[in-house]
């Protein structure tokens, strides 16, 4: 059996619980010859609810458990006893999960924040017991209603990883090595292209316990937005990245030109989604320990005016500037914006006073 380590698109079969039937019952006690109806209502069936959990980074657990069902409710009982409601079936998913109906293609919603919930199948309502049918003209009703059926659906769950930083580059550019140096992730690393065949997620932690989540997607090649190569099916994982690191192979592997690689990568992201052109980014020149790196770097600076950081991920050299740059972008800049907003609010309140 093939060992699966990552799933970002699965089909989920769900069924909510049925409502319990109402009860037909009459009070029977000594010395009370005409006790009257006392049949209780049925309980409500459990619903199926998707809940976002930051501790999840894949749909792998649901790949092995594609059938999720809530329990049926209890029927109503005599002595005016209400049937017990069934508990909801809570299904945890990773942030960035998009939910659609597999049969109608209807978009049902997406879950982005930890704890966010989405009701995908509503449980059936409980039936009414004969006690509720009692009236001045109907003293001994035998009517009742059955509980309604819970909803049953087939869903497509598609994951678009929600990461702070997305690593983008050509195959064998050193993205996996860089990820292993910056985070505690342990991706497969080998000296040949397409060693990364699934998105890999890692978390980088600063001394003050601030954290950034990284997502490494399989290497892209020209035409990826049209389905060329392995990376096209994972381009969606870069859509929600708040920052992009372009990792360039300055060794000129496979006779590629790093500058051309960067320009092609920018085009591929733009053609996949126009909004990605506005995502902040930083260019990383990897493999600067190779013989041809300086020449390629000089050409890159002549043909572009991009800010670039020189590193050797394999040797662990030049990583601190990347960490500092990202810290400034995510934490210090955010702090300045927050302080400015608070100051403006104080000035506005002072003017009103």
Give the closest residue to 167 by CA, choosing from 57, 279, 9.
Answer: 279
For residue 326, the model assigns a pLDDT of 92
For residue 287, the model assigns a pLDDT of 92
For residue 33, the model assigns a pLDDT of 72
188 pLDDT above the threshold of 60: no
CATH architecture of 1-159: Distorted Sandwich (2.70)
CATH architecture of 165-338: 3-Layer(aba) Sandwich (3.40)
pTM: 0.72
pLDDT digits (tens, 9 = 90+) for 213-254: 888 877 554 544 444 444 456 677 788 888 999 999 998 877
Give SS3 for 132: helix
Q: State the pLDDT confidence band at 334, using cuts at 50, 70 and 90.
A: low
- DSSP string of 282-299, one letter each residue: EEEEE-TTSTTHHHHHHH
pLDDT digits (tens, 9 = 90+) for 252-300: 877 889 999 999 888 888 888 888 888 999 999 999 999 989 999 999 9
For residue 160, the model assigns a pLDDT of 83
CA distances from 27 to 75, 135, 190 (A): 18, 16, 78
Could you state, in order of their start, the residue ranges of all structural domains in the chain? 1-159, 165-338
User: Across the chain, what does the average pLDDT equal?
Assistant: 84
List, in sequence order, the alpha helices (H) in 41-174.
60-64
């Amino acid at each position: 059996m093939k060992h699966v380590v990552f799933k970002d698109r699965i089909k989920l079969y769900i069924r909510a619980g049925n409502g319990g039937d109402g009860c037909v019952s009459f009070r029977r006690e000594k010395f009370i010859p005409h006790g009257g109806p006392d049949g209780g209502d049925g309980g409500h069936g459990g619903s199926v609810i998707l809940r976002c959990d930051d501790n999840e980074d894949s749909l792998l657990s649901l790949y092995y458990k594609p059938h999720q069902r809530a329990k049926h409710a209890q029927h109503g009982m005599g002595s005016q006893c209400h049937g017990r409601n069934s508990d909801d079936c809570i299904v945890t998913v990773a942030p960035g999960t998009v939910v659609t109906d597999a049969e109608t293609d209807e978009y049902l919603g997406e879950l982005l924040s930890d704890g966010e919930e989405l009701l995908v199948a509503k449980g059936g309502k409980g039936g009414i017991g004969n006690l509720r049918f009692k009236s001045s003209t109907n003293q001994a009703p035998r009517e009742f209603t059955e509980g309604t059926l819970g909803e049953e659906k087939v869903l497509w769950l598609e994951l678009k990883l929600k990461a702070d930083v997305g690593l983008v580059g050509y195959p064998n550019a050193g993205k996996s090595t860089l990820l292993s140096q910056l985070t505690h992730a342990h991706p497969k690393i080998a000296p040949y292209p397409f060693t990364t065949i699934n998105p890999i997620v890692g978390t980088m932690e600063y001394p003050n316990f601030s954290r950034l989540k990284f997502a490494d997607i399989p290497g892209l090649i020209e035409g990826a937005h049209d389905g060329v190569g392995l990376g096209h099916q994972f381009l969606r994982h870069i859509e929600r990245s708040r920052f992009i690191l372009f990792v360039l192979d300055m060794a000129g592997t496979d006779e590629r030109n790093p500058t051309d690689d960067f320009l092609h990568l920018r085009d591929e992201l733009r053609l996949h989604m126009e909004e990605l052109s506005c995502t902040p980014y930083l260019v990383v020149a990897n493999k600067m320990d190779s013989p041809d790196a300086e020449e390629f770097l000089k050409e890159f600076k002549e043909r572009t005016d991009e800010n670039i950081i020189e590193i050797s991920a394999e040797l662990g050299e030049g990583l601190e500037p990347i960490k500092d740059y990202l810290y400034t972008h995510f934490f210090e800049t955010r702090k300045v914006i927050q302080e400015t907003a608070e100051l403006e609010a104080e000035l506005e309140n002072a003017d009103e006073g």
